[in-house]
Amino acid sequence: MISEKNSIDTNNTSLNPPNGGDTPKRFGKLSALWMQLPKSQKTTLVILTILSILLPITTIFLRSITNYRSRAYNPVTPITPPSPTSGEIPSATPTLIPPFTPTPPPTATPTQGLTPVPLPSTTPIPTPTPLNHAPNIIADVVPVAIVGKEYGFKVTGTDVDIKDSLSVTAANLPKGVSLGRCKSATVEGPNPKSDISRDKTLKIISCNISGRPTLAGVYLVNLTVKDDKGASASKQYFLYIIKK
């Protein structure tokens, strides 16, 4: 039994690597050496290590690019067809002619109808308002009056608008003298017997101013003839009243 155990232990020891315990020591020595190197040498070693890794990769990449370009730009050698043997006529390849397709005629676009233009509305012309003429006033020469004596003179107004109504007013008459009744008439055409000179139809109004003046003096009398349209005519006369 003892001999079997010894044989087993001997076999077990033979399976272990002889220098297995030296590996950590080696890494420790390398790290100690790396720490002792100056910074410039460390940088140089790092750069060299990187270049040793990148250089093969770059070489393989450049070769692949070169092969691709050589394949892409390699001219293809044209294939020369074999010449026909004497006595043989090469067969002609028929050319297909496309069938004729007729062009459809252009579609006529319907023309839109003309839009009727409305005629401008005519504005009715207003009926002109007839022109109204102002009347005219005519008075006899105003005579001199005497205090206490009967006195009178006539005032006449005319208007070419025969449809107008006329009226007469007198202002600043002396005491005892007043405007009497008035008469209106329409005189047609020339009338040589009339005391008014005219040559066409007129509307006439005649009024008498009469009475007995009581005070002597000079009075400025204002006479006015007016029609029913608002037009009027006025005149002023000096009326002298004296004592006898």
- Please say whether the beta carbons of 168 and 224 come within 8 A: yes
Q: Give per-residue pLDDT as tens, 176-217.
A: 999 998 999 988 765 544 555 555 788 999 999 999 999 999
Q: Give per-residue pLDDT as tens, 59-76.
A: 888 888 887 777 665 555
What pLDDT score was predicted for residue 117? Answer: 73
Decide: helix, strand or coil at residue 7: helix
Residue 14: pLDDT above 50?
no
The residue with tokens 């009347």 is 135
Tell me the CA end-to-end span of the chain in Å, nearest whole number.
208
Residue 43: pLDDT above 60?
yes
Map out the domains of the chain with their CATH numbers. 28-71 (no CATH), 136-242 (2.60.40.10)
Q: Which two tokens stand for residue 92?
A: 């002609």
Lowest-confidence region among 93-107, 131-145, 158-172: 93-107
Range list of H helices, the chain: 2-15, 23-36, 39-72
What average pLDDT does this structure show over 13-23?
A: 50
| Closest by Cα among 190, 204, 69 to 136 | 204
Specify the DSSP class assigned to residue 175: T
The 232-242 sheet, strands edge to edge = 145-146, 232-242, 217-227, 166-171
CA atoms within 13 A on the CB side of 167: 6
pTM to 2 decimals?
Answer: 0.45
What pLDDT score was predicted for residue 17? Answer: 47
What pLDDT score was predicted for residue 124? Answer: 78
What's phi and psi for 211, nearest 5 deg?
A: 145, -170
What's phi and psi for 198, nearest 5 deg?
A: -160, 165
Q: What is the largest CA-CA distance in the chain?
A: 208
What's phi and psi for 200, nearest 5 deg?
A: -150, 170
